[in-house]
Amino acid sequence: MGGNSRPGTPGGQKVETTVTNVSDPSQLSIGCKAFFEKDNEIRQAEVLSIRDKAMRNNIQRTAEDAPLDASNSKIEYEFYVHYVEFNKRLDEWVSESRARLDKPVAFPKKKNKATHGGSQQAAREKRRKTNTGGSVATGTAPQTPDTIRHDDSVYTAPQKNISKEKEIEKLRTGGSMAQSTSEVARMKNLNVIEMGQYQVEPWYFSPYPLEYAHTPILYICEFCLCFYANKTQYTRHRVKCTLQHPPGNEIYRKDDISFFEIDGRRQKTYCRNLCLLSKCFLDHKTLYYDVDPFLFYIMTRRDERGCHIIGYFSKEKESSDNFNLACILTLPQYQRMGYGRVLMQFSYELSKAEGKVGSPEKPLSDLGLLSYRTYWSEVLVDMLVGFDGEISIDELSHMTSFTIQDIMHALFSLDAIRYYHGQHCIVLSERVMEAYERFKKKNHRKIDSSCLKWVPKN
């Protein structure tokens, strides 16, 4: 969740291009922008990687490389493309038959080598001076297969003179992780995930071990979240796996919905596997395998076979900013069913039980802000419509466990704040009331606070 800078163009900076026509797919190179067919439309896309379809070997080429030898007519190329002005989740491998070579192709301009060398020397000098001053230049984040942690903050490169222990301590006390530009630019490494009766196509890159990447199907046990590269191993595991629910304490149950609380320090393997899975569907997340500072709340749906994971949210055990949620995800097979709203509501029920106000970690992505703004607005309007008399923002905050800032943000988004006779008042417009009536007609899932069996830990 966050801004979308284009892969291959760090920071979203513009690259000078040369537009020309090509007659053969082998003339396309990494970094060029060509047109491809997608859903009966013709869309411009940036080529991020090229491979031989038969051998599935990546052919890493740049704009400076000479065109591939097209004399071998048996070679059929596949291109990993990012559709311009579309979300990264649509990135995919396409066959050369979908390339529209009747349209011009934009190639990155080749840099003047003399100028380029000079600029490199200048950049090195600048980095040397900057490093002497105590800060560092942005670089590739270390790929340490020891953590998993994520958030929506702005990326800050780790300082080279800070030890891993100090960095983790800073992360423990300073909120979740920041987005890493090196992760954003990476290609999807999984084709299909199978969980129980569902097969899901991942949206983004997730750092599963290399031996599991690029397999036709990655099999994941929906109870313990262990993953396997082939069906035989997975079937053998399912015979031996005794789990029928997440390995934590069940703190809520009503109808077929249950919530389990899991301590990241006690169930490291499960929580790390959960974070690997969630990274397939959450973009702009830096992963750390230090799950100790987190509690994970897993929402499940029960049937005769067990409790099947629907989604989850995580929160820090100790947050100096009173954040009640660090990361939230509803698995794709359960999206658009109202479960995301239930997860948000449950996070505030926990805040009410603690006697605190809470808020999700900031900054929120565009999609996250939209979801939370909608939830805040619906709760506030529902409360105000049935209220007779005067009420202050502080009282609303106490009744909902929303922060004052979040309440004001929601009210301003509804254009409900008015200045009348020397004081501010809340006015619900006709448009807001019409939206409220539509909301009331829907059968929304709700958390029953009487079914919550949970005591805050001191």
Could you tell me the CATH number of the domain that includes residue 94?
2.30.30.140
Give bridge partners of residue 85 from the DSSP assignment: none
Residues marked active site are found at: 361
Q: Count CB-CB contacts under 10 A for residue 404.
A: 14
| Domain total in the chain | 2
Handedness of CA 82, 88, 92, 97 (dihedral sign): negative
| 100 lies in some domain | yes
pLDDT at position 44, please?
Answer: 95
> Given pLDDT bands bounded at 50, 70 and 90, which one contains residue 185?
very low
In this structure, are 244 and 393 located in the same domain?
A: yes
> Given pLDDT bands bounded at 50, 70 and 90, which one contains residue 140?
very low
Mean pLDDT across 39-50:
92
- Tens of pLDDT along 6-34? 444 444 456 778 889 998 898 899 999 99
> For tokens 């596949």, what's the residue?
78
| 437 lies in some domain | yes
Residue 448 to residues 11, 145, 397, 439, 451, Cα–Cα distance (Å): 45, 40, 20, 19, 6
Give bridge partners of residue 33 from the DSSP assignment: 46, 106
In this structure, are 352 and 446 located in the same domain?
A: yes
In this structure, are 331 and 437 located in the same domain?
A: yes
> Given pLDDT bands bounded at 50, 70 and 90, which one contains residue 131?
very low
Q: Which of these, 334, 248, 238, lies nearest to 298 by C-alpha position?
A: 248
Q: How many CA atoms lie within 13 A of 366 on its CB side?
A: 5
pLDDT at position 340, please?
Answer: 93
Measured CA to CA, the distance from residue 130 to residue 151 in angstroms comes to 27
In this structure, are 202 and 84 located in the same domain?
A: no
Mean pLDDT across 54-61:
56
In single-letter form, the type of residue at position 160 comes to K
Specify the DSSP element, H or E, that contains 219. strand 218-220
Measured CA to CA, the distance from residue 355 to residue 338 in angstroms comes to 26
| 128 lies in some domain | no
Give the least confident one: 39-43, 125-129, 213-217.
Answer: 125-129
Specify the DSSP element, H or E, that contains 419. strand 417-420
Question: For the purposes of burial, counting CB atoms within 10 Å of the CB of 421, is it exposed (0-12), middle (13-18) or buried (19 or more)?
Answer: exposed
Question: Among the ranges 279-293, 301-315, 354-368, which has the highest mean pLDDT value?
Answer: 301-315
* Bond into 293 cis (ω within 30): no
Specify the DSSP element, H or E, that contains 95. strand 92-95
* CATH number of 397's domain: 3.40.630.30
Are residues 177 and 153 in contact, defined by beta-carbon separation less than 8 angstroms?
A: yes
| 401 lies in some domain | yes
Q: Higher pLDDT residue, 140 or 452? A: 452
Mean pLDDT across 80-91:
89
Q: Higher pLDDT residue, 67 or 148? A: 67
| 1 lies in some domain | no
pLDDT at 47 over 80: yes
pLDDT at 274 over 90: yes
Q: To the nearest whole number, what is the mean pLDDT of the chain?
A: 79
Q: Which of these, 165, 163, 162, 210, lies nearest to 186 by C-alpha position?
A: 210
Q: Higher pLDDT residue, 157 or 159? A: 159
In this structure, are 321 and 430 located in the same domain?
A: yes
Domain with 93, as residue range(s), is: 18-59+75-107
